Structure 1
Amino acid sequence: MESKSREWMQCKKSDPSVKDVVSCPCVKCNNERRKCRDEIELDLLKFGIFKSYTRWLRHGESISDQATHNNIINESNEFQEHEHDEMLDMLHEAFGVPLENDVEGERDKVSEGGDPKDAAEAFYKLMGDLELELYPGCKQFSKLSFLVKLFHIKCLTGIPDKSLEMVLSLFKEALPKDNTLPESYYEAEKIIKNLSLESIKIDACPNNCMLFWKEHADAEECVKCHASRWKKSKPSSESSTSQSKPKKIPSKTMRYFPLIPRLQRIFMPTKTAASMRWHSDERVDDPDGVMRHPADSKAWKSFDEQYPTFASEPRNVRLGLASDGFSPFRNGHIPHSTWPVVLIPYNLPPCLCMKQPSFILSMLIPGPKGPKDKIDVYLQPLIEDLKLLWEVGVETYDASKKENFRMFASLLWTISDYPAYGDLSCWSTGGAVGCPSCNSDTCSRWLSNGGKHCYMGHRRFLRMDHMWRYDGSTFDGKQELRPKPKQLSGEELLQQVNDEQAASKHTSKKRRRTKKKEKATKLWRKKSIFFELPYWSSLLIRHNLDVMHIEKNSLHPIRDPNNPTEIPKEFPPAPFTLSLEQKRNLCNFLTSVKFSDGYASNISRNSSLKERKLSGLESHDYHVILEHLLPLAIRDWPVSLSAPLIKLSEFFRELCSKALKIDELEKLEEQIGVTLCELERIFPPSFFVIMMHLPVHLASKALIAGPVQYRWMYPIERYLSKLIGYVRNKGHPEGSMAEGYLLEECLTFCSRYMDDIETKFNKQDRIYDDDGDDDISSTDCIPIFGIRGRAFGKENPRLFSTKEWEEIHYYVLNNCKEVQPFIE
C-alpha cells in the first residue's frame, strides 16, 4: 500500500497535465474530495491509497498513458530501492531483527530463538541471496525477490510442483547464462524454506493409545496395547542380500505445527501487530447492547473480570479451536478420515478474524480412521503449549511498538459439528441424555419401532403461565409443570465428571446386561484433556453448538363408521405431506430463483421438475433455503403448517445476523420454545432427533458468546477444501498437506511485503466494475455520476420516457450533495 502511494505521487508530480487541485485517492477521501498536492501527500502517508484504484483514470489519465507511467516507475531508482527495502524489512521481521541494529547486534538478536546456529545461518544466507542480482546488471530483481514472487504465484494460483519446475527451467535457459537461478525446483524450495516455520513429526500408536513422545520417544511398542510402532517390512531378495538394515517406517505419524513461534510471527510484521490490539484500541462498546465481535460477548468480559492480569495486556491472544474429519481425496468413495486442528486468533478485527490467512493449522491427525474420543491423545502437544502460554508466557517482539513484551494466550472455546462435539468434550451425545445443555435432565423417549431416541417435551422451555403447559390433550396427554433444565457451571460439570469416574472405579463387576444399561445412561465417556487448562472450568461456554449443521409426522387412521372395531386399512395424508401439485410448484419456485453473484450457488440446478425433488445440495444451500426461500415457497400452504416453519426460518435468520441485540436474543430464546411446541403438534416423535432439539439452546448460547459467525463451521469447511488442494501424493496425503501448508504459510507472510504484485491482501474483488474504458476524468463530473460499471451484452441505445426522466431528476435532487444548496 505504501509503495503504491509513492508511485502515485511520483507519477502525478511528473505529469504536467494534472491540475494543482485534484481528487484525493486516499482511503478516507476515496476520490470524492478535491485537495492540493501537499494535502494529498499527507493523507496518503496517514491513511494509504485506496486498494482497488489500480488505474488512475479519476485524474485524467487514459489507458495508453498507463503504460507510460509504468515505464517511468520501473526506471526509477527510488522504486528499485523501495523494492529492496520491502524484502529487507521482510527478512528482519521474519527473524525478529530490528533494522536499526548493527551487524553484531543482528547476530546476537538472531541467535535468541530456537537453534541459534541454524537461525543465524539461515538469516545470513537469505541476506546474501537478497544482495545477489538475478543476473549481472539486473536492477529489478535479486535472486531472493524473484524466487519469493515466483513461489507466491504458485501458491496464489495453485500451480503444481512439476509445472513450476518446468517454468523455472525455462527461465534458467531464457536468462543470461551467468544467472543465479537454482538448477531445480528442489533447490529453489530449500531457499524459500529458510523463511518458513518448522513442523514436528510425532509417531503414534496405530490404535490411537499414545504418542511416542517425550519419555516414550524411543519406545518400540505401545505401552498400553503393545502394538508395534513400525510397519511390518515385506521381505525381498534385495534386502536379504544387503548388509544394511531396512529403514523402519512408523505405522502412524502426526504432524504438529508448534503454536508459540506462529503466535510470535503475528507480532513480527508491523502490518499485523497493530491489528492484534484492535479489540482494545479500536472496538467501541455499543451502549444499546449490540454484539458484533466476540469481544462484545458476556463470555469475553466475564473472563476479563476473573483474570484482570491477563486482560490488562491487550496483546495477549484469545484463541478458538476448530476440528473436523474429512477425506483428503476428491473421490468420496475412498474411506479415509484426516482430522486437522485449526486455531483462530480472536484479537483480530472482523474483516480479518475468520479469513483463511489468519487461521493457524495446529496439527494433522492421520487416517485412515478418525481418532473419535481418543483425540485427546493427539492434543497433548497443543495443550502443553497452551499451558505454557498461560502460566509462563513467552518473550515476543512487537514490531508496531518496537518493543518486547511477554505474551500470554488462552483458549476460549471449541467449534465443531455435533459428532465431533462429543469427541472434544467427551460427552455421550448419542444416548438418552444426548443434550449437553440439558445434561442429566434431558427429556427423551425411546422409539421401539424406530430404534432411536426422540427428544420432545419443549413445553418445559415456555413461561410457567403459558397455556400450553396445562394443555395435555393437544400434546402427550399430560400437563407440563417442570421448569426448564438448569444450566450447570464449569465447576459443577467438572465435579460431575470426577464423581462419575470415582463411581466407575469402585463399582464391582456386574452382568453384561447391567453394563449395557449403565452405558446407555452414562453422561461422560471420560474426563476431557481440556480440563488440564487451569481456566477451562471457569469459562461460561466451552464447546459451541454449530449453527451450520443444526440448520441441515402423527397419523390418525380412518375407521369404517359401520364397523369401528375393524382394523383400519386407510390412512389420511399427514398435514405436512405435499401433493404432486405442491411439489411441482415448490420445484418451479426454486428453479426460477436468482441470486446476486457470490451470494449462493445456483440452486436451480439441484431442482428436478420431472422427478419433483431436490438433490446435491451443499450446507450453505440449506442455509439459504431455510432462512430466505422457505417462507416464500410455503406462503400458500395452510397456516397451521406454514406458520411454525416460517417462525423457524425467522429464528435462524435473526440468529445469524452480523450484529446481535441482547433484548432481541431474549425474545428469540422465548420464541424458539413456542415454535418447537407448535412443531410437536404437527410432526410425529420420530421427527424430533437431537438436531431438532438443539435449536432451543442456540439463542442462550449467543447471549453468552456473541455472533454465530465466529463460532460456526462454514469458514472451517472451506479451509478443509483448501487442504485437499495441497494433496499431491495420494499415498501420503497428510505429508502432502503439511508441506503445502508450510509453503502457503511462508508465502502468506512474505506477501505482506509485496505491494507491486497481486496478493491475498490487495487482490481485486471478483466483481470489479471500474474497468477503466472511459477516458473522461471523474473530476469533470459530480460524484453521484462517478461510479462506473461494466457494460453487459450488446449495446442498445434508446430514448428515456418522460416518466424515466422525472425519476432520474427526483433521484439526483434527493441524493446529490452539490444540488442541496440550490434547493434550500
Structure 2
Amino acid sequence: MDKDWMQIKNRALLQYRRGVNEFLDFAFSHTNDDKIYCPCFKCNNCLRKSREQVEFDLLSHGIVRNYTIWYHHGESLQDESPHSSSFDSHDDYMDKDDMENMLRDHFGVWDIEEDIEEPNEEHIKEDIGEPYEEHVEEPNEDAAKFYKLLDDSEKELYPGCTYFSKLSFLMRLFHIKCLGGWSNKSFSMLLELLNDSFPKGVQLPASYYEARKIIRDLGLDYEKIDACINDCMLFWKDHDKKETCDHCGASRWKFEEKDGKRKKIPIKVLRYFRITPRLKRLYMSTKTAFDMRWHDAKRIDDGYLRHPADSEAWKSFDELHKSFSDEPRNVRLGLASDGFNPFGNMSTKYSVWPVVLIPYNLPPWKCMKDPYLMLSLLIPGSKSPGKAIDTYLRPLIEELKELWNVGVDTFDAYEKKNFKMRAAILWTVNDFPAYGDLSGWNTRGALRCPTCNVETQSKFLTNGKKFCFLGHRRFLPIRHRWRREKELFDGTKELRRLPKQLSGDDILQQVFNLEGLVVSNHKDIKKRKRSAAGKEMGSSNPWLKKSIFFELPYWRTLLLRHNLDVMHIEKNICDNVLGTLMDIPGKTKDNLNSRLDMEELGIKKDLHPIREGEKVLSVPDAIYKLNNKERRSLCEFLQNVKVPDGYSSNLRRCINLKEKKIYGLKTHDCHVLLECFLPLVLRGLFSSHDVRSALIGLCSFFKELCSKVLTVKNLEKIEEQIIITLCKLEMIFPPSFFDVMIHLPIHLASEAKIAGPVHYRWMYPIERYLRGLKAYVRNRAHPEGSIAEGYLANECLLFCSRYFNGIETKYNRVGRNWDGAITHGYKVETKDKVLPIFKQNGRPSRNCKVTRRLSLEEIKQAHLYILKNCDQVTPFIYQRSQRLLIVLLLEERKGFRVLYLKEI
C-alpha cells in the first residue's frame, strides 16, 4: 500500500484525504470492533475511537509520520512496503521529527524551517566597504540554546548511525536512568563503556555531568532563597542584602573554616520552583495543550459530579470573576502540602515540607497523576515550619498575585495563537494538622472543628485528659424526637440549631486584629497578643494568625478554602473502631478512665465501674466489645479473604491469628477495610442490631462518599444518614470514642456538594508523590538539594519522553496485569458484537497446559461476575417492559467453550 501520503504536511490536499480513507478501510477490515486506536499526533495509538472520530483527528492533527507499519491495526511487522516512506529509514525520520517537535514546543519556535537568509552581494555596503554580516545581531540566549540543541539533534551518534542522533540517544539514556533509579556514578560508568564499545567518532559525553550540561537547557530551574533559622523572614527582594533577621536577630550565616579561610554558608535555604514557566509549557507543548482545555471543550455537563469543573465551587467562582472565566484556558489550581522524613528512618527527626500544585484543567485520567503535579516550594528541615509556613509561602503568593492581576503571555500550541494566561487557587489539600498550619485555625484546642468554628461543642474528660466532641443531635431536624431524649444521650435536651456556615468575609472579621502579626518559631515571638475578635469568642482565640492566602484578591470569595482530608479521617476512624471492638491495648477507646468519665457525667449507668468502697473491682462488658470467638472469626475472615491483584495490600501480614489482633494497617488498608470488608464481617458478629446497623451505616457512608461519580441528591441522602449514624454511635459508645475525627464526617458530604468528588481533594496522590521525592535523596548530608536536582532531572525527562517512540515511558506503559494483546472477544447473541470484559488475552500463572471443566460453583461465580461487571447485561436486568432472564450456557463446540447471553 502506498504510504507516501503520511509525509504530506498540508492536510487539505486531496492525496492526504484519500490516504486517510484508505487507512480507515484497511484498519476496519482487520477488526470486528467499531473502534480502533487513533494514530493521530494527539492520541498516538493510545485512545480507541470510532471511524468518524479517527477521521476527524487525522484531518485536524495529522497522522504520526513514523507509524509506517500499521501493527496496531492488523499489519504484520514483515509487511513493510518499499513505498512506505520517502526516507531511507523510517526510524531516522522518527528521531529527527520527534526531537524537532520537542524543541519547538519547549522554546516556542514554530518556524524553524525558515532558515536565516544568507547575505548576498546586494547586502554589502559598498560605500563603507564592510560586509553586512558584521552588523547582524547575535541570537539571544534562548535562541542560542535552541540552535545548539537543534544541532545536537541532527548530529549522528557515530558515523553511519541512522537510528539515533546525539541528542535523542542521550535523552533516552537519561529517561532509562530516571525510570530505573540509576545513580550518577553508574550512569557515568555506562557512558565510559559505550564510548569504548561504539565505533570511532562517537558523539557521547564522558560522564554524567558532561551529559547533564548538554540537556540542561531542556529543563527548568529553581531559585535559592535564604531564610531565618527561626522561620521569621526570608532574605529576599528588599531584604536580600541583610545579614541578620529583623525580628529575632538571628544570623543568616554559619561559618566554616576551610584552608585557612572563613566561608559563609546559609543556615536555611528555601528552594523555589517558579510555576509560571511550568504552566506555560503545558500550553506550549502540542502533547498537552488540548488537555488543558478539556474542562471546557470535552466535559459533559449533565448534572453529575465527575470533575471539579462540575462542582458548585468552580461554577460560583466563574460567576463572580467573569473576566477570569471568559478565557477557558486560564488555570485552576489546588495546593497541597505535607511533611515527610527524607531519610526513611523514623528514629531520625527530620521533616521536609514540599508545596505541590495540582492543575485541575486536565481530564480526570490525568488530573491527579504524578507527571502533572508541580513542585513549587521545598521548605527545609529539620523541624516542621508549623504556623510559620506563611513565611515560606511568600514567593509563591507574590507569583500567584501577579498571575491573577496581570497574567503572562503564553502560546497555545493547539490553536497556534498567543493568549494572556492567568491562574487561581481553588482550595488547599492537606491532613488535619497541616489544615491548621495553612488556615491559621487552632486544630489542637477545644474548638478543633474549623467548620463549626466557635460553635464547636466539646467536653473535657477529666480522667481521660482529652476533649470529646458530642452533640450531633443539633444537626437533626428541629422537631426530631431524639432532640428531646435525655437518657439515651448526655442527659440534656438539644435545643440548638445548626452551626452557622461562615463565609470568607465572616472569617476576615474574626481575624482583623491579627493583621501584620509576625509568625515565627522563635520562643519569644510565638507569644501573640489577644485580639479583640478573640475576646468575643471566649477564653481563648482559636485563630493563631491571619492566613497569607487572604492576600489573594479572590480568596475570600471561595466557597471552600481548605479541604478536610478523607484519607486520614478514614484511617483514624478505622483504627478507633477496630481498636475498640477488639479491645486492642493502646488503641481502644474503652478503658477504665473512659468508664470513670461516664460515671462522672452520669450517663450509661450500666457501664459504670463496679466498686467496693473506693476500690474498683471490675467493669461490665459492653455490647460493642467482641469476645474471643468473635475476634478469632474476624481475624480468620480477613486472613482468608481473596481480592483482585492491586485491589489492596496483603492483609494477611496484619493479622496475628494466635493473639487475635490486627496491627500495622496502612491508610489504604483502612480504606478497604472500612468500605468493603468490615460491613460483611459485622453482619454475623453482633447480636445487637443497634451496634451492627450503626457501624454498617458508618461504612456505607464512606463507600458512597468516595464514589467517582456523585449526584447532589445522593449526597443529601448520605448527609442525612451520617447525622443519624453519629447519633446512634453516641447512644452506644463512650464519650472518649468521639475524638474530632469521629465528628468531622458530618461535614464531608456538604464539602462534596460544594467541591465535587473527594478523590480530587484527598492526600493519596500527594503521599505517593512525596514517596517519589524521597527516592531522590542520594546525598544524606544535603537532602533538600538532592530532592531539588532529582526533581528537575525527572521533570525534564517526563517532558521529553512524550516525544519518544518505541520506548516505554510513564505515558504509554501498560498496566501491571497486562497479559497480552487485545483480542476480539467472545461473540454473543446480542446487538453488541463482543463482551469487553473478555477482550484481553489471559495467560496461566505457571507453565501449565492441563485444562479442566469448571465446577458448578465456579460457573455460578462466573455468571455472577458477568452480571455485575458487564455493561451489556445491564439493560436486560433493569428493563421493566418485559421479564427477562439471563442464562449462562456453556456448550462444547469443537473442543472450545463458547459464552452466550440469551434472552428468554
TM over 0.5: yes
Range with greater deviation from structure 2 (463-472 or 18-27): 18-27
For 2:49 and 2:459, the matched residues in 1 are separated by 71
Q: 1:789 aligns with which of 837, 842, 854?
A: 842
- CA 1:327 to 1:491, structure 2 compared with 1: closer, same or farther past 3 Å? same
Deviations 1:71-107 (A, max 9, x none): x9999534412320110110111011113663459xx
The 5 Å alignment of 1:322-341 reads 322-341=336-355
Matched, 1:495 2:509: yes
> Aligned in 2, Cα 1:642/1:729: closer, same or farther, shift over 3 Å?
same
Counterpart CA distance in 1 for 2:362 and 2:766 is: 17
Return the alpha-carbon distance in structure 2 between the equivalents of residues 500 and 40 of structure 1: 59
The match for 1:254 is 270
Instruction: Work out whether 1:601 is the aligned partner of 2:653.
Output: no
1-side partners of 2:88 and 2:320: how far apart?
57
Equivalent position amino acid for 1:164 in 2: F
Q: Which residue matches 1:763?
A: 813
Classify the secondary structure of the residue corresponding to 2:30.
strand
**Change in 2 beyond 3 A, CA 1:79/1:547:** same
Q: Which residue of 1 aligns with 2:672?
A: 624
Secondary structure at the aligned position of 1:658 is classed as: coil
CA distance in 2, matches of 1:68, 1:607: 57
* Residue among 366, 373, 377 paired with 1:363: 377
Out of 300, 303, 307, the position equivalent to 2:317 is 303
Length, aligned pairs only: 777
Shift of residue 116, structure 1, vs aligned partner = 8.1
Report deviation, 1:422.
Answer: 0.2
Residue 472 (structure 1) aligned to one of 463, 470, 486: 486
Structure 2 counterpart of 1:99: 111
Structure 2 residue matching 1:325: 3-state secondary structure: coil
Matches within 5 A, 1:714-793: 714-770=764-820, 783=834, 787-793=840-846
Q: Distance in 1 between matches of 2:840 and 2:529?
A: 78
Work out whether residues 414 and 544 of structure 1, in 8 Å CA contact, stay in contact via their aligned partners in 2: yes
Report 1:401-480 matches (<5 A). 401-480=415-494
Q: Secondary structure at the match of 1:253?
A: strand
User: 1:582 is aligned with what amino acid?
Assistant: E
CA–CA distance in 2 between the matches of 1:117 and 1:199?
Answer: 21
One-letter amino acid matched to 1:628: C
Deviation readout 1:307-328 (Å, 9 max, x if unpaired)? 1111011100000000000000
1:662 is aligned to: 712
Partner of 2:554: 535
Residue number among 257, 269, 288 corresponding to 2:285 in the alignment? 269
Q: 1:175 aligns with which of 175, 194, 198?
A: 198
1:807 and 2:889 correspond: yes
SS of aligned partner of 2:377: strand
**Paired residues of 1:431 and 1:521 also in contact (CA < 8 A):** no
* Contact 2:400–2:552 (CA under 8 A) maintained in structure 1: yes
* Residue pair 1:387, 1:533 contacting (<8 A) in 2 also: yes
Match of residue 110 from structure 1: none
The structure-2 alpha-carbon separation of the partners of 1:269 and 1:695, relative to structure 1 and needing over 3 Å to count, comes to same
Residue 639 of structure 2 is matched in structure 1 by 591
Where does residue 550 of structure 1 map in the other structure?
569
Distance 1:783 1:80, change over 3 A: farther
Distance in 2 (CA, whole Å) between partners of 1:6 and 1:767 is: 34
Three-state SS of the structure 2 residue aligned to 1:249 is: strand
Distance 1:158 1:639, change over 3 A: same
- Give the superposition deviation at 1:582: 1.5
SS in 2 for 1:760: coil
1:319–1:346 Cα contact (<8 Å) kept = yes
Letter in 1 for 2:568: H
> What does residue range 147-166 of structure 1 map to in structure 2 within 5 Å?
147-166=170-189
Partners of 2:412 and 2:608 in 1: how far apart? 79
Partner of 1:226: 249
Whose relative contact order is higher, 1 or 2, with alpha carbons under 8 Å and at least 6 apart? 1
Cα gap change, 1:362 to 1:791, in 2 (>3 Å): same
Q: 1:397 to 1:545 in 2, by over 3 A?
A: same
Partner of residue 77, structure 1: 89
Report if aligned partners of 1:630, 1:649 keep a CA contact under 8 Å in 2: yes
Query: Are 2:398 and 1:388 aligned?
Result: no
Change (3 A) 1:192 1:599: same
SS in 1 for 2:420: strand
Structure 2 residue aligned with 1:131:
154
Contact 2:335 2:356 in 1 (8 A): yes
* Identity, % of aligned positions: 51
Q: Aligned-pair distance for 1:345?
A: 0.3
| Aligned counterpart for 1:202 among listed residues 221, 225, 238 | 225
Amino acid at match of 1:208: D
CA apart distance, 1:388:
0.3
Measure, in 2, the Cα distance between the counterparts of 1:358 and 1:685.
44
Q: Does 1:141 align with 2:149?
A: no
8 Å contact 1:559–1:566 — kept in the other structure? no
Distance (whole Å) between structure 1 residues aligned to residue 329 and residue 202 of structure 2 = 45
The answer on whether the counterparts of 1:60 and 1:775 sit within 8 Å (CA) in structure 2 is: no
Q: In the aligned structure 2, how far is the partner of 1:156 from the partner of 1:495?
A: 51
Q: Which residue, 577, 600, 605 being the options, matches 2:625?
A: 577
CA separation of 1:699/1:754 partners in 2, compared to 1, >3 Å: closer, same or farther?
Answer: same
Aligned to 2:541: 522
Task: Please say if residues 409 and 418 of structure 2, whose CA atoms lie closer than 8 Å, have aligned partners that are also in contact.
Answer: yes
**Is contact 2:694–2:725 with CA below 8 Å preserved after alignment?**
yes
> Whole-Å Cα distance in 2 between the matches of residues 394 and 369 of structure 1?
36
Any idea what the Cα deviations from partners look like across 1:474-513, whole Å, max 9, x if unmatched?
Answer: 1111100100101011111111110566999xxx9999xx
Q: CA deviation at 1:120?
A: 2.5
What corresponds to 2:123 in structure 1?
Answer: none
1:202–1:254 Cα contact (<8 Å) kept:
yes
Gaps of 5+ in 2: 8-15, 40-44, 118-137, 519-526, 572-589, 596-604, 828-832, 860-886
**CA separation in 2, counterparts of 1:736 and 1:679?**
49
In the superposition, the TM-score normalised over structure 2's length comes to 0.79
Is the Cα contact below 8 Å between 1:57 and 1:776 reproduced in 2?
A: no
- Which deviations, in whole Å up to 9, do the C-alpha atoms of 1:279-301 show, x marking residues without a partner? 11110111xx3100000000000
Name the amino acid aligned to 1:26.
Answer: I
- Match of residue 37 from structure 2: 27
Q: Does 1:687 align with 2:737?
A: yes
- The answer to whether the Cα contact below 8 Å between 1:432 and 1:521 also exists between their aligned partners in 2 is no
Is 1:607–1:614's contact at 8 Å kept on the other side of the alignment? yes
Aligned to 2:524: none
Bigger Cα displacement from structure 2, 89-98 vs 520-529: 520-529
RMSD: 4.1
Q: 1:309 to 1:33 in 2, by over 3 A?
A: closer
- In the alignment, which of 59, 62, 65 is matched to residue 74 of structure 2? 59
Q: Secondary structure at the match of 2:248?
A: coil
SS of the residue 2:460 aligns to? strand
Q: In structure 2, how many angstroms separate the alpha carbons of the residues matched to 1:466 and 1:169?
A: 79
Q: Flag the 1:53–1:727 CA change in 2: closer, same or farther, 3 A.
A: farther
Q: Secondary structure at the match of 1:807?
A: strand
Aligned equivalent of 1:647, options 697, 705, 708: 697
Query: Please, which of 126, 138, 143 is the counterpart of residue 120 of structure 1?
Result: 143
Q: CA deviation at 1:27?
A: 2.6
- How far does the alpha carbon of each residue in 1:378-417 deviate from its partner, in whole angstroms, 9 at most, with x for none? 0001000100000000000000110100001101000000
Task: Tell me the TM-score normalized by structure 1.
Answer: 0.86
| Deviation of the 1:251 alpha carbon | 0.4
Q: Is the 8 A contact 2:333 2:423 kept in 1?
A: yes
SS in 1 for 2:622: coil
Q: 2: distance between equivalents of 1:789 and 1:560?
A: 61
Change (3 A) 1:681 1:799: closer
Q: Aligned in 2, Cα 1:200/1:103: closer, same or farther, shift over 3 Å?
A: farther
Q: CA deviation at 1:579?
A: 1.3
Structure-2 change in CA distance of 1:558 and 1:404 (3 Å) = closer
- Segment of structure 1 superposing worse, 761-770 or 527-536: 761-770
